Structure 1
């Protein structure tokens, strides 16, 4: 706390009051409602839910409003709230093949079974400012998309069609319970499940930068997007009293599977390998970046050479991906460090005195000669 600042707690209270005033802004402008944030800033809401590890659009909207649009601060608020929630149990692994897809594309197969579903995306826009949005028009005057309802039939994964030729690695099946990064501290080497959790919670900008580095040659990672899908997936939970699982809700997810070339090893023939990303909400950039970094981190598992790329260094990537941890360590340096600085100041003054005395002695010797 800023207790050492003149005014102490009173100054802090005033700072909080001023912050609330700044958050509200001009009172002649209508205040944003949580519904407006949730519905019209949905991609920001999705990011906060993903990096906050809590799927609740209303709470994410509240956090964004409270944080004045600072998404990292909003993630911090969500994570802090999450620690207060009781844990009732665990759900079954979601079956993304049952996803009701709003969007489903593949960069590897043009005529994929089930077809390509473009869905809501910026991919085909011209990136020009739309000044029509400055007019607060009624919804009835807005253009309406003529789209079908989300796909609710079984939608198999596109990469499953490579399984028939046995030219893509099989994902290992295990009944072992994965580690939980939110309850246990990370240790190295980390399992792939824990790595994926860390990447999902990691800062989107950092994961994007790591992924971009792999594409620029700082890892052997020339990838294709095998499939990218966005949609709602049912969540099921085993109820001991009932003896079977029931559906307790659904979550919107973005899933990305990348395809990477693999030259093979002594025991494995040449084939394709996978990178994987799964994120809350519509978070396409994050899920693709996550898949690229996931594949780069698998070099040892696949028997590849370590090229010394940052994205191949598990400890470097996972230790620096968390924006809350990074923010805390970075922003703490603006808190009072008076004693520390005084000791540094005295040390520099002492070194300067010693250097000056030495210079005087050297000058005196030269003069004597």
Structure 2
């Protein structure tokens, strides 16, 4: 039970003033510009957009600045703002096969049409602090490879397995999936709804679950069939015109995993898929999403339930949202004086009863 705190309004106003001063930092330092955050902290911006369910790098940068770098608080701000926006319509499904790729790697095939594109990645860097960034704030520019931003014919790698019937089909059902941002989650949830929940789930939570599947809690060994990052065109159908028009571009990260499947009485042995798709360059999140997606599919594939957390849809979907988790966690620091006094009185009575008996 929450109770009002007398005189608390002045304290709250003072806390807001203190937050404003702490947010700005020393006046002798230049203020951090949102354009700098957007362009130089792009990975943080990508996470805020992905888990905030709103693609807008400028607003994500503003939220990060306002939240003093607390990404979950920034995600909360973005989701709250998102609820105020009018909904004009629905876009057509994006074609990730036509992505303008800036990073594309496959751990299953070495030679793929279009080639492997390492792109901007920490994968091959030394994990050593670069003090040049502290000395002058920037690194010397290196000549561009020439591949970034140019259209690249990059068919999906899993299509090669699909051509030989070695991987499960992924047909389009043709049905419009439910919208998790407009309708509450209902269990049991089909795969389309699960993927929506995973796309906006907390990265750290998904990472832990994905790691558990690799360590045997679901027996879900996977290969990264393809990981790609780049810009895709967004189109929207205009009924008055009778055709679709381009309304913009978004940067996406897409991951498809290849998982073993022993087959059944009706299905031959083949590979199965895990899938992840997120806003921005968020490859750790996309890979984790693909692993958890595959773990949740055990029932539809007729596999044995290992009792692993990543296989339990209710556990995963009910706890993966960091905004819900943060709200429930942080509310316990608010006044609970009446509740605690009741608990305290109960413990005193119990202790008194024990003393009388002895």
Cα displacement (A) at 1:114: 1.3
Query: In structure 2, how many angstroms separate the alpha carbons of the residues matched to 1:137 and 1:129?
Result: 13
Query: In structure 1, how many angstroms separate the alpha carbons of the residues matched to 2:96 and 2:47?
Result: 20
Cα displacement (A) at 1:115: 0.7
Other-structure match for 1:4: 4
Greater relative contact order (CA < 8 Å, ≥ 6 in sequence): 2
Q: CA RMSD in A?
A: 1.4
Cα displacement (A) at 1:112: 1.0
Q: Is the 8 A contact 1:310 1:317 kept in 2?
A: yes
Cα displacement (A) at 1:2: 8.8
Which structure 2 segments of 5+ residues have no match? none
Other-structure match for 2:82: 82
Q: Is the 8 A contact 1:227 1:256 kept in 2?
A: yes
Other-structure match for 1:62: 62
Other-structure match for 1:353: 352
* DSSP 3-state at the match of 2:136: coil
Pairing of 1:1-369 with structure 2 (within 5 A): 4-136=4-136, 141-359=140-358
Query: In structure 1, how many angstroms separate the alpha carbons of the residues matched to 2:142 and 2:101?
Result: 22
Query: In structure 2, how many angstroms separate the alpha carbons of the residues matched to 1:144 and 1:17?
Result: 46
Aligned residues: 358
TM-score normalised by L of structure 2:
0.97
Query: In structure 1, how many angstroms separate the alpha carbons of the residues matched to 2:28 and 2:2?
Result: 33
Q: Is the 8 A contact 2:102 2:147 kept in 1?
A: no
Cα displacement (A) at 1:3: 7.3
Query: In structure 1, how many angstroms separate the alpha carbons of the residues matched to 2:59 and 2:105?
Result: 30
Bigger radius of gyration among the two: 1
Is the alpha carbon distance of 1:301 and 1:291 closer, same or farther for their aligned partners in structure 2, counting shifts above 3 Å? same
Query: In structure 2, how many angstroms separate the alpha carbons of the residues matched to 1:146 and 1:307?
Result: 46
Q: Which runs of 4+ in 1 moved over 4 A?
A: none
Q: Is the 8 A contact 2:114 2:153 kept in 1?
A: no
Cα displacement (A) at 1:265: 1.0
* DSSP 3-state at the match of 2:69: coil
